[in-house]
């Protein structure tokens, strides 16, 4: 008999780091070059099968953080985990992601999360080094370079997180 569970996952990060594109890549397997900023939140659903279990991931794609508007913590209510996203070509977005993690942990406690350093297809323009990623992994975090354009690291990151938010 198949057991189905449903988990809320939030996408967090600075603006224009590729949160919406990562969700589109993961849910619809498509990528658009056009950048369209997210206001508020967009909700999507992705069903993952893990052995005899089905996990429905309810993905809350939150508006990007910037200097002017800060994250509404109310969106995070009831979240089982979250995905932190940074843009490898903009070093400041990694710092912002780390700052968000601290705020989420302060508000919601230690939730499972995955850190994706996105736009790895533009690695020649990256300002985040392999050493930076290694140092973050040293904290025991799940850290991956990813690309919504090519799909690199996307499936793996969500699958890992799904396994952690819905353990057998």
Stretch that binds other proteins, among 4-12, 94-102, 109-117, 148-156 (CB under 8 A): 4-12
Q: Tell me the C-alpha to C-alpha distance, in Å, between residue 55 and each of 27, 31, 75, 83.
A: 14, 24, 21, 17
Q: Does 1 bind other proteins (CB under 8 A)?
A: no
Q: CB-based contacts of 26: which residues, under 8 Å, 6+ apart?
A: 46, 59, 154, 155, 158
Contact (CB, 8 A) for 37 and 64: yes
Q: Does 7 bind other proteins (CB under 8 A)?
A: yes
Q: Does 83 bind other proteins (CB under 8 A)?
A: no
Per-residue tokens: 10 = 């939030």
Stretch that binds other proteins, among 56-64, 114-122, 133-141, 160-168 (CB under 8 A): 56-64
Q: Tell me the C-alpha to C-alpha distance, in Å, between residue 112 and each of 69, 82, 85, 127, 155.
A: 25, 7, 14, 26, 17
Given 50, 53, 54, 56, the residue binding other proteins (CB under 8 A): 56
Stretch that binds other proteins, among 29-37, 113-121, 139-147, 156-164 (CB under 8 A): 29-37
Q: Do β-strands 53-62 and 41-50 pair in parallel, antiparallel, or remain unpaired?
A: antiparallel
Residue 1 vs 139, nearer CB to other proteins? 1
Backbone angles phi, psi at 87, to 5 degrees: -100, 115
Contact (CB, 8 A) for 115 and 89: no
Given 29, 37, 49, 123, the residue binding other proteins (CB under 8 A): 37
Stretch that binds other proteins, among 74-82, 98-106, 116-124, 131-139 (CB under 8 A): 74-82
Q: Does 42 bind other proteins (CB under 8 A)?
A: yes
Q: Does 142 bind other proteins (CB under 8 A)?
A: no
Contact (CB, 8 A) for 26 and 92: no
- Residues of the shown chain interacting with other proteins in the complex, contacts defined by CB under 8 A: 6-8, 15-16, 35-37, 39-43, 45, 56, 58, 64, 66, 68, 72, 74-75, 77-80, 90, 127
């Amino acid at each position: 008999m198949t057991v189905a569970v449903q988990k809320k996952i939030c996408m967090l990060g600075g603006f224009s780091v590729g949160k919406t594109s990562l969700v589109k890549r993961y849910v619809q397997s498509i990528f658009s070059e056009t950048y369209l900023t997210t206001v508020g939140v967009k909700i999507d659903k992705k069903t993952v099968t893990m052995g005899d279990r089905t996990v429905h991931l309810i993905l809350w794609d939150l508006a990007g953080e910037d200097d002017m508007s800060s994250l509404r913590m109310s969106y995070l209510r009831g979240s089982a985990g979250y995905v932190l996203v940074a843009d490898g070509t903009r070093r400041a977005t990694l710092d912002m992601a780390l700052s968000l993690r601290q705020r989420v942990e302060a508000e919601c406690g230690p939730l499972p999360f995955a850190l994706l350093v996105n736009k790895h297809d533009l690695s020649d323009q990256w300002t985040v080094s392999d050493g930076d990623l290694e140092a973050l992994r040293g904290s025991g975090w799940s850290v991956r370079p990813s690309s919504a354009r090519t799909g690199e690291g996307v499936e793996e990151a969500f699958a890992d997180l799904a396994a952690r938010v819905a353990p057998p």
